[in-house]
Amino acid sequence: EPEVTQTPSHQVTQMGQEVILRCVPISNHLYFYWYRQILGQKVEFLVSFYNNEISEKSEIFDDQFSVERPDGSNFTLKIRSTKLEDSAMYFCASNLPGTGGRKTQYFGPGTRLLVL
Amino acid sequence: DQQVKQNSPSLSVQEGRISILNCDYTNSMFDYFLWYKKYPAEGPTFLISISSIKDKNEDGRFTVFLNKSAKHLSLHIVPSQPGDSAVYFCAASEGRDDKIIFGKGTRLHILP
């Protein structure tokens, strides 16, 4: 069964450094998402991406964040200058409307980001 | 502001019995609801969903019930199995919005 993959599984970085989290969505999916889960809190929406542009973003997704689909398979989340509070589990998700329901998003295993 | 609430942080159920996980929501514009299951160190896995035009959806051992007047949904697992031990997230979306709003999750323990 096709699945969303994410790399790396863990990332440790110093505050102020740039990080890039990578995702390979399910191949025929058209909508791509990033969510995050701070330890002990709920999963929060960050951004959605369709047709090579952001379709929706949350208040969390400020100017320090950017997303890109650099080729036909990868979907990346960049945090330009990391802060301590960016430490969280970051999940990528993808969706093809019509499969499993209009809004059913399929999630990757996550990247655990630790900012020191 | 919690738009999706799961008030039970944990639930323990005997193997073979029914597990009932509850969820309440406040946004009457939500029109699609989902349940996800999550094991440690893995991403949320889609389980089952329901559109607001329905009040029940069943898939194998999993049934989701929606009571729109009460803004309440529940997930029933029958019979409960050891592999069902996980965190279950209730989630919802509204109209043409892409984002899914998650609850905080309920940790289900299936007891032998």
The tens-digit pLDDT sequence of chain A (116 residues) is 779 999 999 999 999 999 999 999 998 888 899 999 998 888 999 999 988 899 889 999 999 999 999 887 899 999 999 999 999 999 999 988 754 445 688 999 999 999 99
Select the residue of A45, A108, A109 nearest B100 (Cβ to Cβ): A45
- What span, in angstroms and rounded, lies between the C-alpha atoms of A23 and A111? 9
The residues pairing with B23 across neighbouring beta strands, listed in sequence order, are B73
| Eight-class DSSP state of A9 | S
Nearest CA of chain A to the CA of B98: how many Å?
Answer: 7
Say whether A102 and B34 touch across the interface (CB within 8 A): no
Does an H or E element contain A49, and which? strand A43-50
For the stretch A85-106, pLDDT in tens is 999 999 999 988 754 445 688 9
Say whether B98 and A33 touch across the interface (CB within 8 A): yes
Q: Which residue has the tokens 């159920």?
A: B13
Residues B72 and B64: beta-carbon distance below 8 Å:
no
Say whether B100 and A105 touch across the interface (CB within 8 A): yes
- What span, in angstroms and rounded, lies between the C-alpha atoms of A94 and A23? 10
For the stretch B19-49, pLDDT in tens is 999 999 999 999 899 999 999 888 999 999 9
